[in-house]
Amino acid sequence: MLIEIIILTLIIEIFSIIGRILFDSMKERYKKNKLPFKSHVHHGYMGIVIILAYFFYHLESFLIVGMALFFSDVIHHFIVLPVWIGRTEFP
């Protein structure tokens, strides 16, 4: 189960980085047109909800996905973003 969590965490983090690159490039266009645009979603919150659902349904896949989402968010905000942009962008 630990290997699955690690692999899924890395996959989710790769998509988070790709999404960050794509949405950051789109943000400038939205600012020029003065449209509201929020591009960052903390997927760690979704992970916590899925982990809690694991305790009700006892499906191992819930625990794997929830932990991977949570760890990916932690890695993204406390390792990737400080290296990339110099701040965590965590509320």
What per-residue confidence (pLDDT) applies to 7?
Answer: 97
Domain ranges of the chain: 2-84
What per-residue confidence (pLDDT) applies to 86?
Answer: 87
What per-residue confidence (pLDDT) applies to 23?
Answer: 75
What per-residue confidence (pLDDT) applies to 42?
Answer: 83
pLDDT by 10-residue block (mean), the chain, 91 residues: 96 91 67 57 91 96 97 93 85 66
Q: What is the pTM of this model?
A: 0.82
**Contacts made by residues 71-77, CB under 8 angstroms, sequence distance 24+:** 71/5, 71/9, 71/47, 72/9, 72/12, 72/13, 72/16, 72/43, 72/44, 72/47, 73/16, 73/42, 73/43, 73/44, 73/45, 73/47, 74/44, 75/9, 75/13, 76/13, 76/16, 76/17, 77/42, 77/44
